[in-house]
Chains A and B, each alone.
Chain A
Amino acid sequence: MRFKGLAAAALAALPLLAPPAAGQGTQLLYLAEDVPAGLDYDGPAVTVNTSQVGFINMMDTLVDYPIAGENDEGIRRLDFSRFEGRLAESWDYDAATLTWTFRLRQGVKSCAGNTFTADDVIYTLARGKSVSGTAPINWFLGSLASIAGFDRGVFTGGSRELGDAVEKVDDHTIRIRQSASNNLFLTVLTVYSMAPFDSVEMRKNATPEDPWSHTYANTVNAAGFGPYCLERWVKGDEFVLRANPDYYRGRPQIDRVVIKRVPQSANRALTLRSGQAQLTQRLTAREFEQLSRARGVRVAGIFGNETLLMGLNWRTPPFDNPKLRQAIALAMPLQQLSRIGYAGQARPWEAHFTEVLNGYVRPEAQYPQNLDRARQLLAEAGYPGGRGLEAFPDALRLSFTAERESYLGPLATAIQSALRDIGVPIQLDPLPQTQFADRRMVKKDLPMSLSDTEKPVGPDVVYATRLFFVSPQAGGVNNITNYSNPELDRLFGEAQTEPDPARRAPLVNQIQQIVQRDLAWIPLLETRTQWAFSDRLSGLTWHPDNSLRLFELRLAP
């Protein structure tokens, strides 16, 4: 009796403790696995997707891509073959002098109320070339775009001053000179790490030790000309943005966005289902599937640039043997991998590039699972039934990041089992993320690796080629498998400089045929970039950095 009385009293007290109802109308609660750790795109947090969401929505680039309709799930796509102005209104190119002239938009105001001018672009590129940040991404992109002076010389005693590569014609006109003809120039300008800073605000926060305000940008505010301004930021907890009322494309429809860190995907799913949040992502395949049946919730996605691949090191025998590579590709249980890792939502990746990239063609060489053919190729490679492979115990080790063992582990096991079926015995070798990155990126000595982090933010086949397949001697950047083919390097050079799209297309086509024929890596699956969101929310658009533009979202009352 006494217990019942206590319980009744406790229940009666609950309404007193209940918080006020969650925000409605034009407030959006976005549940993420983390909130931005830093806001400087040349800073240490730049590679973290959850950090990119911050500065991407607070800054704007000179150019971007137009919307090109939506897929059958309602996710809008961009047309990567065309560009449209953002902070730049128009531009032209003088091939004789390798010079781009940009006419900048007038009357654009930052969150601090400063007006956008040519000085902001100059400041941004000068800051990039100073390579003073922890991760000099702006310089890196400038070098990909062949901006004059953005070369490796900055690290070997060369000038870190901008010099005459960028010239201010007037307050709203600027010229940027290239060191060589390069078609990737505008593609590079769409990437977040080329977005102009509000130089007035940045200079205000400079110190003698930190003249380029990296600490300010990283820890206090990304001062730019974007649609949202920072209201509140508690690292590791929440990130609150408020609409920039002066945004030049119009005030954002959603006034306030609260990005809340909810590390448990189950809790993100549960809260979205309860109606208290309107948007989330990075759930498990099963959670997405369950949410798709929940009332008031939608799940939609797109095959963008997220993939799963296996790298085989070209410098590590026996993987320098082309027939062995083909045998391995033909043994891959792609449907099984899709079921195990992605609840059947992934699809076999039939190329080294994803379909959305500008210039994509489906290559002729295909490797659907065929164990008989795989065994035959293995024998032709000199290892009938796998005999002889025991000489390479150190090479036959499949590495992946141990932190993601929960889902990469089962995939690796399935690959191990499939390879055993054709007589290729491999061991699994989960490594800590840091060690994995060091060996793959710096030492480049991982013999076999399983990864899903290759997502080119420049949505162009030529851009991705330079990133992943061109040899370092020809300007390759992140060729993780040490793939080297002079013919490919030559085609890349021509494709990068060929101004005529009609003459460029066959070169781009050949590039794709060659890497697929050679198996620069073993493409496995294309995976979906997905979101779960309130059915009142619309306007979700896929961008190559996999971050949503909050400005594009619409929340119905």
Chain B
Amino acid sequence: MIGFVSRRLATALVQLVGLALVVFFAIRLLPADPVARLVGLNASRDAYLTAQRSLGLDRPVAEQFGSYLGVLPGSSGLLQGDFGRSWVTGDPVAQEIGRVLPITLELITVSFVLAFLVSVPLGMICAIRPGGAADRATFAYSLFAGSQPEFWWGLLFIFVFFAELGWAPAPLGRLDPMSTPPAVVTGFITVDSLLAGNMAAFRDGVHHLMLPVLTKVFVLSGPIVKMVRQNMVRVMASDYVLFAQASGLTPGRIARIALKNALAPALTLLGVLYGYILGGAVLIETVFSLGGIGSYAVRSVLAFDYPAIQAVVLVIAAVSLLVYLVLDLLHAALDPRLVG
């Protein structure tokens, strides 16, 4: 198992290095000028040149790359674990990502866990009686939920649960803006408020998480239910299930055996969706005013904030690779043949 994990980590590292190279040069190929964006539309040419010099953009690209990697004498770069400073805010990019990443991770991790907990039993119920009422209802729901973009559902839920019913808080981020947030330890509001023993902040945090999570679970569950259902139907028709039935095993025991095999593709789907949603979280973050990594990525791209873009791509890729690694481990636990 250790060899398996080491091989996967080594592959991930090579992928990250390749990605760092591609991103660095790709953003410099874009036909745009970050300096003009920074100094504004009404700046003088002198101001422009000063800004260009202060950002280091007057240096040859090879020198900029060396500085980015941290191989030039006196420079601090990726090798030193330094992503540089944002050109827009002047803050260290690592610090900014440390602030925004937990917001998105908390939202989508909670959503994925809940979606999984809802979808697996639902998929199993559908698979037990394909074409039954539950199956038809679930089919209609997954078609319905998947047919609209999630920001639209988010806006609709805000309208219904905040504006009309008053059950949900105003979509103003992770906490009531007039309250005092708990001290930052992990960046996850729920965890930090519990660590601080601040139950009011915990309740507020959960309350503010309610609608974004509902939106995510609502949209995410559709494909997961379908995947679990399809696999369960396939597995339930397989020879070994027939054999188990013939051997007189209880339906519960058979379902457990079948589920183990049906889960593997659903887990793969989850992994793919996780990375995809992490990078594309901007829609849900915008709707609920959550300043997460998705919004940060878009802001960085629009501002041509090169250090931030480079770091965001690497971090999202690293998180995705980590999720894939965890899934591989889970797969290996479900199917020990994979370790070999």
Contact partners of A14 in chain B: CB under 8 A: 167
> Is A373 engaged at the interface, CB distance under 8 Å to the other chain?
no
With both chains docked as a complex, state the minimum distance between the C-beta of A134 and any C-beta of chain B, in angstroms.
5
With both chains docked as a complex, state the minimum distance between the C-beta of A151 and any C-beta of chain B, in angstroms.
10
| Nearest chain B residue, comparing its CB with the CB of A36 | B89
| Nearest chain A residue, comparing its CB with the CB of B176 | A19
| Nearest chain B residue, comparing its CB with the CB of A270 | B163
Residues from 210 to 235 in B contacting A, C-beta threshold 8 Å: 210
Interface size on B, residues (CB 8 A): 63
Query: A437 with B37: in contact, given A137-B47, A261-B291, A263-B295 (CB under 8 Å)?
Result: yes
Q: Are the CB atoms of B173 and A238 closer together than 8 Å?
A: yes
Q: Are the CB atoms of A47 and B90 closer together than 8 Å?
A: no
Q: Are the CB atoms of A267 and B36 closer together than 8 Å?
A: no
| Nearest chain B residue, comparing its CB with the CB of A27 | B178
* A-B residue pair count with CB separations less than 8 angstroms: 198
**In the complex, which of the residues A137, A235, A261, A440 contacts B91, with contact meaning CB atoms closer than 8 Å?**
A235
Q: B36, B158, B203: which has the most chain A beta carbons within 10 Å?
A: B36
Contact partners of A218 in chain B: CB under 8 A: 89-90
| Main secondary structure on A side of the interface with B | mixed
With both chains docked as a complex, state the minimum distance between the C-beta of B260 and any C-beta of chain A, in angstroms.
29
Q: Are the CB atoms of B207 and A263 closer together than 8 Å?
A: no
Contact partners of B155 in chain A: CB under 8 A: 264, 266
Q: Are the CB atoms of B96 and A44 closer together than 8 Å?
A: no
With both chains docked as a complex, state the minimum distance between the C-beta of A322 and any C-beta of chain B, in angstroms.
26
Q: Provide the bound-state CA to CA distance between A22 and B208, in Å.
A: 14
A473-497 Cβ-contact flags toward B at 8 Å (1 or 0):
0000110000000000000000000
Q: Provide the bound-state CA to CA distance between A276 and B179, in Å.
A: 13
Q: Are the CB atoms of A20 and B172 closer together than 8 Å?
A: no
Q: Are the CB atoms of B40 and A47 closer together than 8 Å?
A: yes
A124-154 Cβ-contact flags toward B at 8 Å (1 or 0):
0000000101111100100000000000101
Q: Are the CB atoms of A271 and B172 closer together than 8 Å?
A: yes
With both chains docked as a complex, state the minimum distance between the C-beta of B31 and any C-beta of chain A, in angstroms.
6
| Main secondary structure on B side of the interface with A | helix
> Is B11 engaged at the interface, CB distance under 8 Å to the other chain?
no
Q: Are the CB atoms of B304 and A434 closer together than 8 Å?
A: yes
Q: Provide the bound-state CA to CA distance between A403 and B200, in Å.
A: 40
Q: Are the CB atoms of B206 and A17 closer together than 8 Å?
A: yes
With both chains docked as a complex, state the minimum distance between the C-beta of B217 and any C-beta of chain A, in angstroms.
14
Q: Are the CB atoms of A270 and B51 closer together than 8 Å?
A: no
Query: A263 with B286: in contact, given A38-B90, A235-B96 (CB under 8 Å)?
Result: yes
> Is B50 engaged at the interface, CB distance under 8 Å to the other chain?
yes
A-B contact pairs, 29 of them (CB 8 A): A14-B167, A18-B203, A18-B207, A19-B200, A20-B179, A20-B200, A27-B178, A37-B89, A43-B90, A44-B38, A45-B88, A46-B40, A47-B38, A47-B41, A136-B50, A140-B43, A155-B49, A214-B90, A219-B89, A234-B291, A235-B91, A261-B291, A262-B171, A264-B289, A267-B158, A270-B171, A273-B163, A437-B33, A453-B41
Binding site for B on A (CB under 8 A): 11, 14, 16-20, 22-23, 27, 29, 31, 37-38, 40, 43-47, 131, 133-137, 140, 152, 154-155, 214-215, 218-219, 234-238, 258, 260-264, 266-267, 270-271, 273-274, 276-277, 403, 432-435, 437-438, 440-442, 451, 453-454, 467, 477-478
